[in-house]
Amino acid sequence: MTHEVSITSDIDTLRAGAEAGNASAQYSLGNMYVNGRGVPEDDAEAVRWYRLAADQGVAEAQYNLGGMYDYGLGVPEDYGEALRWYRLAADQGHAEAQVNLGRMYANGRGVPQDYVQAHMWYNLAASRTTGEARDSAVEFRDNLADLMTPTQIAEAQRLAHEWAATHPREP
């Protein structure tokens, strides 16, 4: 019983912060609605809170909002919107968003199919993450490379290098 009171009070505090414009609280509240943690599961409500945080530049919220559009959770499926939100997060160095951009370019979802762009995003993701996430990005990149010419691979590597030069990693 004490735990329930604590969750309710935490949610009230979080909601107050979110309603006051705190981006971190908005993002956290979105997560709570996606997972049904302390509130009823509600994808549309999660989208509302993610969007508020995403509009303030929270990369994780941008990534999650991209996923909501990508899979039609709480909003109509819209690959163009998914791509837009993933790109905003990816441009902040969010490796999972970079992988999803690679997937969208590789499959032509929301954009014309473009193996060079896909390879570039997979390569960037591989360079900015570790462990299983890195292994997956490397596998996606290498599988895609089997479908590309050496010239296309070189172009993708050049584009990745240019992007990395203008998007330094956070210290």
Mean pLDDT by 10 residues, the chain (171 residues): 48 93 96 94 98 98 98 97 97 96 97 97 95 96 96 98 88 54
Q: Which fold has domain 1-92?
A: 1.25.40
Closest among 116, 130, 100 to 162, alpha carbons compared:
116
Token output for 63: 């990534």
Task: Report domain extents, the chain.
Answer: 1-92, 95-171
pLDDT tens for 32-70 read: 999 999 899 999 999 999 999 999 999 999 999 999 999
Please give the model's pTM, rounded to 2 decimal places: 0.91
